[in-house]
Amino acid sequence: MAKHLEKELERLKKLIYTLSARVDENLELSVKSFLDNDVELARQVIETDKLIDELEIEVEEECLKALALYQPVAIDLRFIIAVMKMNNELERIGDLASDIAKNGIHINQAPKPKVPLDLHQMTYLAKTIVRKSLDALINIDTYLAREVIHDDEAINAMKQEMKLEIAEALKREPEHAESLMTLLAITHRLERIGDHASNIAEDVIYMVEADIVRHQTPEA
């Protein structure tokens, strides 16, 4: 029984790592499609999200099978629970990446504001925090996981700054309201990506230390 469980856990690790790699790549491409106004790349991102959804279902089914067949305890049980939660977070990041690609297609077809809004820094931070959370998962690194939770605050603060900037631009350029509101939606999605990455980091800490850090302040 123990050997069978060990093999099942190894299979789960490979599956969640494969899913995380696909989500990471699709997020990278979604941001690139938006920044480069690349409609074909955006459509590729949207199509790839369907594969991510299929893999997410496979991971969930494997988790449920492991729970039913082997009745794991202690760290093995925490690992499976953490993988189930991470699986959901990764799928949501994939959905948000697809939504950003769709926003990029929409903005590409709409009139541009005269005053450009620079989203490069926020997109870079979002990509970085996702990579860190996945590195924390792969390396079982709780120190890096806690760094992710702290970094998420920077993305939240940047979103607020962008929101104020877009509000001012709406007053100056009401004729570009549609494009500006799409940009606002993208900043919201980037913030949500940071939140999901932070949730993955929290799950890594729970898996290793059995410590639930959700809803605690970064200082805690």
Phi-psi region of 215 (alpha: psi -120 to 50; beta: other; left: phi over 0): left
pLDDT of residue 116: 56
pLDDT of residue 78: 87
pLDDT of residue 62: 94
Q: How much of the chain is in helix, strand and coil states, percent to nearest 5?
A: 85, 0, 15
- Residue 208 neighbours by CB distance under 10 Å: 17
Distance CA 100, CA 58 (A): 25
Per-residue pLDDT of the chain (220 residues; tens, 9 = 90+): 688 888 999 999 899 999 989 998 999 899 889 888 899 999 999 999 999 999 999 999 999 999 999 888 888 898 899 899 999 999 999 999 999 999 988 887 777 666 556 677 888 888 899 889 888 888 889 999 999 999 999 999 989 988 888 888 888 888 888 888 888 999 999 999 999 999 999 988 988 887 767 656 555 5
pLDDT of residue 182: 87
The residue written with tokens 């699986």 in the block is 87
Sign of CA dihedral 24, 125, 200, 134: positive
pLDDT of residue 180: 87
Distance CA 1, CA 129 (A): 38
pLDDT of residue 206: 85
pTM strictly above 0.75 = yes
